[in-house]
Structure 1
Amino acid sequence: MPQPESAELHPEGWEPWQIGEPLEQIDWLQSVIQSPRVISGLTTVQRSYGPGAGRPTKPVPVDLDMYVDSSGSMPDPRQRISYLALAGAIIALSALRAGSSVQVTLWSGKGHTLATKGFVRNEHEVLAVLTGFFGGGTSFPIHLLRETFKTRRAHNTHILMISDDGITTMFDQDEQGNDGWDISARALDNGGAGGTMALNMPADWDNTKASKWYQDAYKALKRARDQQGWNINAIARFEDLVEFAQAFSRRHYGPLKTPKKKHA
């Protein structure tokens, strides 16, 4: 693949120096090497310069801002397998190993949040959050999303939500009266790398005839998808989160590496 040109000029060779050009541009040594008898304008040469190929740069993977639902409708990882925690771990560890920084927030009802101390590179801090549990109500911590993306981040950041239809509480008003829709749009804009929702709901959620509560939630999700560009993935069974996590990791952070088998 062609490399982008460098802004710095590099020597490419020599070209004739002609009378009228600046005298200091003559390469006297090269002129003498080419012709021991130096005649100005005939045997004198000067260096020629041109743009050089830039150094190949390694692609920088996007950072990850992940929010994992820990309300009462979710499994407690302390008692049984939580596929939310497992999926979160697969994705977060893939991001860390690719060189990204990760912020993880566990959330439930109002005031029930557990998060890493900003974007970190420490897998133990990430796993400590993912294995926590609240089991309370459902109220997305809009203020954390608002503060994280108040301004444009220095590194492009993908936003990932792992939840169910309760994620639509992120579009409510926050404690300051700000519109959650505005905060969501600003987060996507200042994150610069898009947003994904992995939600426990039927695969045909956008076509199904559901109760009024679900209809309202699905209507909000359609708006989030169509107007703001959220990539919404319906996860019919919690177990399917593992497959989602693997595909997400491959897409954003490269192929997953499996340990080599040891031969006897």
Structure 2
Amino acid sequence: MSAEERITSLAARAFPRARARYSPYLLLGEPVVDPEGETFARIDLTSRTIRLGARPITEAALEDALEALIAHEIGHHVAFPGSPVEHARLLLLERTFLPRLPRSLTGPFYDLLVDERLGQGLPSIEDDLCRILAARGARSPDDVLFTFQRVVMEELWQRREGELLGTTAAAFERAFPDHRLDAKLVAQNLFAFAPDVTLQYLYFASIAWRYALASPAPKHTGGGDCAEGELSAEDLAAALVPKKGEKAAIERAIREGFFPKDLAEKLADQSLERRAGAMPGDGAGKSELLTTAMAAHYRREAEKYLFRPPPARVWADALVPTTHLEWEPGDPVADIDWVATLLRRGETLGAAMPLLRERIADEEGQSTPSFLGRTEIYLDVSGSMPDPKRALNAMTLAAQILATGTIRAGGAARALVYSMGHEKAWDFCRSERVLSKFLMRYIGGGTHFPFDILAASVEETRDEQPIRVVITDSDFDTNYDAARQNAAIFARAAERSPAFVLLLHAPSREKVRRYEQAGARVVAVRALGDFPRVAAELAFSLFDDPGTTNPSG
């Protein structure tokens, strides 16, 4: 029997016992044995897949410790961190105030919490957990942080000093003469802060970050953390804004002096801008992740204000059904009349020989109103507002609310961002992700509204004019006056559009009257922070009957 087959057989028997330490009803697949795996065990927090390395387990003679190995990995899924989002929260917190570390503190922190919980279970697997820690240490002798983690476990479980460190004990003692005192403090105080995981992490970080700073980056996958999985943009977006409990933990850590003054000042700043700058990764990969994560964040923020905007009226032929015909391969599947097919031919014959019914205009040229929500957004991204990838831009969020609301209503939207130049996503789109990512574009500089694009849009859309919304500030007044033809273009757009709306920041009454006389609807936004709320209430400014709208959030 090969090592892979033997480990697979043993894991099949150990897995139910390991799962029962949490719940026998836990929905989790059996471990996958990797014959060439470099680590004893890992769990992917995204797919919830546990992988066992047959070769390292065999080399370390840990076949009889599989229950402890698997139970440890399940602990990462069940509790610490429990989900990619919770992991993202601690990771962003760490990167906002600590120096860049060769490896994150989160992995050893999760390991401590999981092993402490497992050590209390019956029958005891503490000895097996100790063997696993010692075996991992032998594979990563230079990992200072993991060595400190093992010292903490010695103190927590009252094991003999140096039992889990092996041959590295003497060298570690010389390099860090106070490590035993630090470990005693962690073992004594860390678990007293439960169940506040953020506060526990901050206490652990206040002592352990110096050991992490002295650790080299893991040279192979056998070192480092056993909870893995790429953090998605959605995970990071959900973690960008700290929760109330996180803020309370941070305040307490600062108040009780966990960190020196310089680190405490950085820790206190958990602004969106700072947490966005703490995204993991480097170079182009980080830039792409930041853009995608911030786009997801704006979608989440838009949910708070989301509404279904009244659709714009367009015209279509009045259709009546024709007589039934035989459907043949190549005919549109959408034209099959399934109700008539089942009634006339039954389930068996109908599936093989469906009936087709087309719809044609009752009278050629006769039209009747139908509804299709379409919104065309012009967003000012000049230098007066922050880059939406770095901080919350209220104007960008307003545009996101309008686009998302249109799409949720079954319609489509397109957008243009402008400053001295412009960029546009000019195909009407029904994808929230595509539009939200486009709205992360930022130009900066001065403001020049593209009246030529507006004029071309009016001519292009002909009888299917969309709702048009311009989100800007008082610089629009200067653009309007810059050329004589701009007033005519503006009036033409206001005349042809089902609704032409200006969301203007702090406009003068004189300018408001001018735009309204030209046919536009003007919504004055007194404070920049009011843009999202005003966007959510846009339906009330577009239509006389507020009952046609349904703001939410």
TM-score (ref. length: structure 1): 0.62
Matches of 1:115 and 1:129, distance apart in 2 = 8
Q: Residue by residue, what CA displacement relative to the aligned partner does 1:142-174 show, whole Å, maximum 9, x if unpaired?
A: 111011112553424111011101122442466
Question: Greater shift after overlay, 155-164 or 244-253?
Answer: 244-253
Q: What secondary structure sits across from 2:401 in the alignment?
A: helix
Query: Once superposed, which parts of structure 1, at least 4 consecutive aligned residues long, lie more than 6 Å away?
Result: 250-253
Matched, 1:236 2:236: no
Matched, 1:190 2:496: yes
CA contact (8 A) 1:198 1:233 kept: yes
CA contact (8 A) 2:480 2:486 kept: yes
Q: What secondary structure sits across from 2:400 in the alignment?
A: helix
Output the amino acid matched with 2:378.
Y
Q: Unpaired segments of 5 or more residues in structure 1?
A: 1-5, 9-56, 207-218, 259-264
CA contact (8 A) 1:100 1:121 kept: yes
Question: Which of the pair is proportionally richer in helix?
Answer: 2
Matched, 1:93 2:407: no
CA contact (8 A) 2:473 2:504 kept: yes
Counterpart among 246, 249, 258 of residue 536 in structure 2: 246
Output the amino acid matched with 2:499.
G
Counterpart among 480, 502, 506 of residue 201 in structure 1: 506
What is the correspondence of 1:65-80 to structure 2 with a 5 Å cutoff?
A: 65-80=376-391
CA contact (8 A) 2:458 2:465 kept: no
Matches of 1:101 and 1:7, distance apart in 2 = 23
Output the amino acid matched with 2:374.
D
Question: Which residue pairs with 1:35 in the alignment?
Answer: none
Question: Which residue pairs with 1:53 in the alignment?
Answer: none
Aligned residues: 185
Matches of 2:494 and 2:479, distance apart in 1 = 13
Question: Which residue pairs with 2:438 in the alignment?
Answer: 129
Question: Which residue pairs with 1:48 in the alignment?
Answer: none
Larger Rg: 2
Shift of 1:221: 3.7
Matched, 1:224 2:515: yes
Matches of 1:72 and 1:185, distance apart in 2 = 28
CA contact (8 A) 1:62 1:155 kept: no
Q: Residue by residue, what CA displacement relative to the aligned partner does 1:38-67 show, whole Å, maximum 9, x if unpaired?
A: xxxxxxxxxxxxxxxxxxx99614411111
Counterpart among 437, 440, 455 of residue 146 in structure 1: 455
Shift of 1:90: 1.1
Matches of 1:184 and 1:58, distance apart in 2 = 26
Q: Structure 2 vs 1, CA of residues 151 and 106 (structure 1 numbering), >3 Å: closer, same or farther? A: closer
What is the correspondence of 1:1-12 to structure 2 with a 5 Å cutoff?
A: none
Output the amino acid matched with 1:197.
L
CA contact (8 A) 1:116 1:125 kept: no
Q: What secondary structure sits across from 2:416 in the alignment?
A: strand
Q: Structure 2 vs 1, CA of residues 7 and 137 (structure 1 numbering), >3 Å: closer, same or farther? A: closer
Identity %: 24
Q: What secondary structure sits across from 2:423 in the alignment?
A: strand
Counterpart among 381, 392, 407 of residue 81 in structure 1: 392
Matches of 2:511 and 2:437, distance apart in 1 = 32
Matches of 2:491 and 2:469, distance apart in 1 = 14
Q: Greater relative contact order: 1 or 2 (C-alpha under 8 angstroms, separation 6 or more)? A: 1
Counterpart among 436, 445, 466 of residue 157 in structure 1: 466
TM-score (ref. length: structure 2): 0.31
Matches of 1:129 and 1:249, distance apart in 2 = 24
Matches of 1:77 and 1:84, distance apart in 2 = 9
Q: Residue by residue, what CA displacement relative to the aligned partner does 1:92-147 show, whole Å, maximum 9, x if unpaired?
A: 101011122211110001xx212113322222221122111111111101111011
Q: Structure 2 vs 1, CA of residues 107 and 221 (structure 1 numbering), >3 Å: closer, same or farther? A: same
Question: Which residue pairs with 1:11 in the alignment?
Answer: none
CA contact (8 A) 2:419 2:445 kept: yes
Q: Structure 2 vs 1, CA of residues 153 and 79 (structure 1 numbering), >3 Å: closer, same or farther? A: same
Q: Unpaired segments of 5 or more residues in structure 2?
A: 1-317, 321-367
